[in-house]
C-alpha cells in the first residue's frame, strides 16, 4: 500500500488568468522511498511539495495519506496528519536566535501531544541522531550553515514523522556542508524515513533512488 497517493490531482491558481501549477497528476510514494523532485523554476515543484505535505489543497482530484482521503477533510484533519506523519525542512533554516539548539528542536513539538519532559527527551534524541548532541546548548548564531540545517532537520524529525519533505535543503550550503546534509538524509532514509526532496541541483537529486521531474505542471519519472 502506498503511503502517499495522488490521483488526478490538479492545483490551479486563479489571479484573473488561471495558472496550472499542477496538472492532473497521479503519483504514489511508498514508505521508505527516497524521492527527488527537479524541474525548471516555476514548473510546479513547490506546489507539488505543498500539496503532498498538506500545506496546500488541490483544486481537483484525490489525495490519500496512509489510506485516509484528505481532500475535503478540512484544516483539522490536515493539521493532525501533518503533526503525526510529516516533517518539513526548508532552504532557510528558520531557527530562532537567542534560543539554544535543543530549544529550537523542542519548538517543533510545542503544539503536539507530548509533555515538556518528553519533548526535551525527543529533542535530545534527534540532536544525537544528527550528530550534534555536543552542540545542544549552542545558539544557532554560533553554528555553521551545515550545523544549522542539521538542527532544522533534527527539529523536523524529533516527533518521529514517517515522511520528511525538504524544499531546497542544501540551497544555502557550500559543497562541504551539502555533502554532510546529504549523508545525513541518506542515513535517515536507510533507517526507514521516507524522503521527498525538491532541488534544482542535479547532484542532490542524484542521491535519491527515485527521481521525478516537473515540467510545466506535469510530473514525470526520470
Ligand atoms: P517551482 O517550485 O517549480 O519554482 P511553483 O510551484 O512555485 O514552481 O510555481 C508553479 C507556478 O504556479 C508558477 O507559474 C507560479 O508563478 C505559480 N504560483 C505558485 N504559487 C502561486 C500563488 N500563490 N498564486 C499564484 N500563482 C502561484
Ligand atoms: P533506495 O534507493 O533507498 O533503495 P528507492 O526510492 O530507490 O530507495 O526505492 C524504495 C522503493 O521504491 C523500492 O521498493 C523500489 O522498488 C521503489 N521504487 C523506486 N523507484 C520507483 C519508481 N520509479 N516507481 C515506483 N516505485 C519505485
Q: Does residue 37 lie in a domain region?
A: yes
Which protein residues touch ligand 2 with a CB less than 6 Å away? 30, 32-34, 189, 209-210, 221
Q: Does residue 150 lie in a domain region?
A: yes
Q: Does residue 39 lie in a domain region?
A: yes
- Which pLDDT tens digit goes with each residue over 93-123? 999 999 999 999 999 899 888 999 999 999 9
Decide: 55 in ligand 1 pocket, CB within 6 A: no
Distance 47 CA to ligand 1 centre (A): 6
Dist. CA 158–CA 21, nearest whole Å? 32
Distance 18 CA to ligand 2 centre (A): 34
- Which pLDDT tens digit goes with each residue over 123-153? 999 999 999 999 999 999 999 999 999 999 9
CA end-to-end distance (rounded Å), the chain: 22
pTM: 0.88
Q: Is 147 exposed, middle or buried (CB count within 10 Å of its CB: 0-12, 13-18, 19+)? A: buried
Looking at ligand 1, which residue's alpha carbon is closest to its atom 1?
A: 42
**Who's near 159: CB < 8 A, 6+ residues apart?**
83, 87, 108, 109, 112, 114, 122
Dist. CA 83–CA 108, nearest whole Å? 10
Q: Does residue 22 lie in a domain region?
A: no
Structural domain tally of the chain?
Answer: 1
Sign of the four-CA dihedral 63, 65, 66, 72: negative
User: Per-residue pLDDT averaged across 162-180, rounded?
Assistant: 94
Q: Which range marks the domain in which residue 123 is found?
A: 32-57+85-221
Decide: 39 in ligand 1 pocket, CB within 6 A: yes
Dist. CA 90–CA 16, nearest whole Å? 30
- Which pLDDT tens digit goes with each residue over 184-212? 999 999 999 999 999 999 999 999 999 99
Q: Is 15 exposed, middle or buried (CB count within 10 Å of its CB: 0-12, 13-18, 19+)? A: exposed
Return the CATH number at 110.
3.40.50.300
**What was the pLDDT predicted at 15?**
86
Q: Does residue 2 lie in a domain region?
A: no
Q: Does residue 164 lie in a domain region?
A: yes
Give all strands of the β-sheet with 163-167 in edge-to-edge order: 86-89, 163-167, 194-198, 34-38, 210-215, 218-221
Q: Report the phi/psi class of residue 3: left, alpha or beta, with left for phi > 0 and alpha for psi in -120 to 50.
A: alpha
**What was the pLDDT predicted at 48?**
98
Q: Is the pLDDT of residue 1 over 90?
A: no
Decide: 41 in ligand 1 pocket, CB within 6 A: yes
Name the residue of 42, 48, 171 whose CB sits within 8 Å of the most ligand 1 atoms, as the mutation to test its pocket: 42
Phi, psi of 220 (to 5 degrees): -130, 150
Q: Does residue 108 lie in a domain region?
A: yes
User: How far apart, in Å, are the Cα atoms of 215 and each of 39, 92, 148?
Assistant: 6, 24, 31
Query: For residue 16, which ligand has an atom nearest its CA?
Result: 1
Looking at ligand 2, which residue's alpha carbon is closest to its atom 11?
A: 33
β 4-15/17-29 pair status: antiparallel
Average pLDDT, whole number, for the chain? 95
User: Per-residue pLDDT averaged across 158-168, rounded?
Assistant: 96
Q: Is 209 exposed, middle or buried (CB count within 10 Å of its CB: 0-12, 13-18, 19+)? A: exposed
Looking at ligand 1, which residue's alpha carbon is closest to its atom 17?
A: 21
Q: Does residue 15 lie in a domain region?
A: no
**What was the pLDDT predicted at 38?**
98
Amino acid at each position: 500500500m502506498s503511503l502517499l497517493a495522488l490521483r488526478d490531482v490538479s492545483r490551479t491558481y486563479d489571479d484573473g488568468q488561471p495558472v496550472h501549477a499542477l496538472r492532473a497528476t497521479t503519483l504514489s510514494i511508498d514508505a521508505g522511498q527516497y524521492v527527488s523532485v527537479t524541474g525548471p523554476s516555476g514548473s510546479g515543484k513547490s506546489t507539488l511539495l505543498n500539496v503532498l505535505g498538506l500545506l496546500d489543497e488541490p483544486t481537483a482530484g484525490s489525495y490519500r495519506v496512509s489510506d485516509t482521503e484528505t481532500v475535503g477533510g478540512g484544516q483539522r484533519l490536515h493539521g493532525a496528519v501533518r503533526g503525526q506523519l510529516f516533517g518539513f525542512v526548508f532552504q532557510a533554516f528558520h531557527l530562532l536566535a537567542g534560543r539554544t539548539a535543543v530549544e529550537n528542536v523542542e519548538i517543533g513539538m510545542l503544539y503536539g501531544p507530548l509533555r515538556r519532559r518528553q519533548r526535551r527527551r525527543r529533542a535530545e534524541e534527534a540532536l544525537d541522531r544528527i550528530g550534534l548532541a555536543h552542540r545542544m546548548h549552542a545558539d544557532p548564531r554560533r553554528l555553521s550553515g551545515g550545523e544549522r540545517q542539521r538542527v532544522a532537520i533534527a527539529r523536523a524529525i524529533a516527533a518521529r514523522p514517517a515522511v520528511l519533505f525538504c524544499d531546497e535543503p542544501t540551497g544555502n550550503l557550500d559543497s562541504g556542508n551539502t555533502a554532510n546534509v546529504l549523508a545525513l538524509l541518506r542515513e535517515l532514509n536507510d533507517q526507514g524515513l521516507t524522503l521527498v526532496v525538491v532541488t534544482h541541483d542535479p547532484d542532490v537529486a542524484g542521491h535519491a533512488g527515485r527521481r521525478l521531474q516537473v515540467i510545466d505542471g506535469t510530473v514525470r519519472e526520470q
